[in-house]
């Protein structure tokens, strides 16, 4: 079992009510723009009503490398309605470093966009803390 890093534990203690409210407010909205920002490793949504949402893993602790990727074309989902967000744990890979994976399934009216959160660390950290924020 992987230990959770202090960043993940602190955020878990605070709860996730704010993220839940942001996601709930975004459900049913039409996506006007969608981007993955490599500088903040976050998925950014802009909706046709002008509102925005940012999804990112904010569990960073010392000695970790966190990043988000997708093989899907984000532009394929522009114009679709956001239906659901679901987090699924992926496999852990252990070698000299430990690599945790977590999937974010973004269900839209045009299909499912799959985002992959990665956390590479030395084995003393781990876990994910996916947060949603209004921008």
> How is the chain split into domains, by residue range?
6-134
Bridge-based pairing state of the strands 31-37 and 42-47: antiparallel
pLDDT of residue 82: 97
Q: Which residues of the chain have pLDDT under 50?
A: 1-14
> What DSSP designation does 72 have?
S
pLDDT of residue 99: 82
Helix ranges restricted to H, the chain:
6-14, 17-26
Q: How far apart are CA 119 and CA 104, in angstroms?
A: 14
pLDDT of residue 5: 41
pLDDT of residue 125: 62
| Element (DSSP H or E) covering residue 131 | strand 130-134
pLDDT of residue 77: 98
Q: Structure tokens of 19?
A: 């993220």
pLDDT of residue 127: 66
Q: Residue 114, Cα to own-chain centre: how many angstroms?
A: 10
SS3 state at 22: helix
């Amino acid at each position: 079992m992987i230990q959770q890093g202090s960043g993940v534990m602190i955020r878990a203690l605070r709860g996730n009510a704010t993220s839940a409210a942001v996601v709930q407010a975004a459900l049913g909205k039409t996506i006007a723009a969608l981007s993955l920002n490599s500088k903040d490793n976050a998925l950014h949504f802009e909706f046709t009503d002008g509102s925005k949402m940012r999804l990112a893993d904010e569990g960073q602790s010392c000695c970790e490398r966190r990043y988000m990727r997708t093989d899907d074309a984000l532009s394929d989902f522009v114009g679709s309605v956001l239906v659901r967000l679901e987090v699924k744990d992926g496999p852990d890979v252990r070698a000299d470093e430990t690599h945790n994976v977590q999937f974010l399934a973004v269900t839209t009216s045009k299909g499912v966009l799959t985002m992959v959160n990665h956390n590479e660390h030395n084995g003393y950290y781990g876990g994910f803390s996916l947060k949603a924020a209004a921008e």
